Amino acid sequence: MAGTRSGLSSAKKIAALLSDAPDDEAREMIARYADDPRKQVQKAVASAAKRLEKAEAERDRVQGMYDLQRELGGEGIVLGVDEVGRGSIAGPLTVCAVALPYDPMILGINDSKQLAPAKREVLAAQIADVALAIGTCHIEPASIDAVGMAQALRMAMKGAIHDAGVEPDCVLIDGNPMHLHPKEKTLVKGDARIAAIAAASIVAKVTRDHIMVDYDDEYPEYHLAECKGYASADHIAAIKAHGLTPIHRFSFCGNFLETPALF
């Protein structure tokens, strides 16, 4: 009986080690215990193998984003450019431009919309640590109302590229041609396909979200920390109840007012 208890304890220990082992150690343990007959060990081996397979697929996905960046942008300084807040009804339009080196590779980068808020925060910090350059530009609601979104987006992208403070060998922009820079290239859904554009989308999203959380302290009735300025049901209800604030885009909000606004 003592031997049986010892064996169960050993199996439990092996399972615990497999669950926490770094990838290289996990591979060695999977090979070592592949033929172990104990069910607990086999379950742990299968779980570890699945974890490694998922991690390898993620590395391949991100490597593909860096490979496409190199294919389109070359080996020099490649600025990825992306925006956030285009469809918001309050707060700024924010554009970031980020130049990433090819090494180290940042695992987990993706279109910011595909990432949980906590993950975006972690990745934004990693991007800030390794980026060759980061530029940011905000276009405030009054300017968006004055010039329209298309012109505001051009202004913001130009501003972010300038703010990066580098002379890029290539500027890769998410979306359609903008004709902003002589070395510009564009790619639809580039924020999910090119590392530097994904990085720009993450930094832009995190930066703007922080602004909207700060605005929530100033305008608590509008639920800005939750909706980030987008047209949520609570936000629309607040506009109908309290009207517009200086951070609202008046030209976007007429349909939400009981009495049409005069712009």
Q: Within a domain: residue 43? A: yes
Please give the residue that has the higher pLDDT: either 88 or 259.
88
Q: Within a domain: residue 195? A: yes
pLDDT on residue 261: 43
Return phi, psi of residue 216, to 5°: -60, -35
104 and 173 in a common domain = yes
140 and 23 in a common domain = no
Total domain count, the chain = 3
Q: Within a domain: residue 51? A: yes
Q: What is the DSSP string of 129-187?
A: HH-SEEEEEEE-HHHHHHH-HHHHHHHHHHHHHHHT-S--SEEEEESS----STTEEEE
- Please check whether residue 208 is in contact with residue 92, taking contact to mean a CB–CB distance below 8 angstroms: yes
167 and 114 in a common domain = yes
Q: Within a domain: residue 263? A: no
How is residue 18 written in tokens? Answer: 């497999």
Residue 142's pLDDT band (boundaries 50, 70, 90)? very high
Q: At what angle do helices 2-20 and 39-73 cross, to 10 degrees?
A: 10
114 and 44 in a common domain = no
- Please check whether residue 112 is in contact with residue 84, taking contact to mean a CB–CB distance below 8 angstroms: yes
Last residue of a domain, one of 43, 70, 97: 70
Q: Considering the chain, what percentage of its residues have pLDDT values greater than 90?
A: 74
Give the closest residue to 156 by CA, choosing from 112, 204, 88: 204
Q: Is the pLDDT score of 62 beyond 60?
A: yes
85 and 195 in a common domain = yes
237 and 118 in a common domain = no
Query: Per-residue pLDDT averaged across 141-149, rounded?
Result: 97
C-alpha 217, offset from chain centre: 24
91 and 183 in a common domain = yes
**Alpha helix positions (H), the chain:** 2-20, 23-32, 39-73, 117-130, 141-147, 149-163, 195-218, 224-227, 233-242, 250-253
Last residue of a domain, one of 42, 70, 98: 70
pLDDT in tens, 184-225: 999 999 999 999 999 999 999 999 999 999 999 999 999 999
Q: Is the pLDDT score of 7 beyond 80?
A: no
What residue type is assigned to position 13 of the chain?
Answer: K
195 and 102 in a common domain = yes
Q: Is the pLDDT score of 69 beyond 70?
A: yes
Q: Within a domain: residue 199? A: yes
Q: Within a domain: residue 261? A: no
182 and 59 in a common domain = no
Q: Which residues of 82-120 are buried (b: 16+ CB within 10 A; e: fewer)?
A: bbbbeebbbbbbbbbbbbbeeeeebeebbbbeebeeeeb
pLDDT on residue 45: 84
90 and 45 in a common domain = no
Residue 9's pLDDT band (boundaries 50, 70, 90)? low
pLDDT on residue 87: 94
pLDDT on residue 212: 98
| DSSP 8-state class, residue 33 | T
Last residue of a domain, one of 24, 41, 70: 70
- The domain of 235 spans 215-256
- Please check whether residue 71 is in contact with residue 195, taking contact to mean a CB–CB distance below 8 angstroms: no
The dihedral formed by the CA atoms of 255, 232, 212 and 251, expressed in degrees to the nearest 10: -10
How is residue 137 written in tokens? Answer: 């530009």
Query: Per-residue pLDDT averaged across 9-31, rounded?
Result: 81
113 and 159 in a common domain = yes
Please give the residue that has the higher pLDDT: either 139 or 259.
139
Which residue has 């012109």 as its token pair? 151
pLDDT on residue 258: 61
The CA distance from 90 to 88, in Å, is: 6
123 and 34 in a common domain = no
Residue 49's pLDDT band (boundaries 50, 70, 90)? confident
Q: Within a domain: residue 11? A: yes
Name the pTM for this structure. 0.85
| DSSP 8-state class, residue 94 | E
Q: Within a domain: residue 90? A: yes
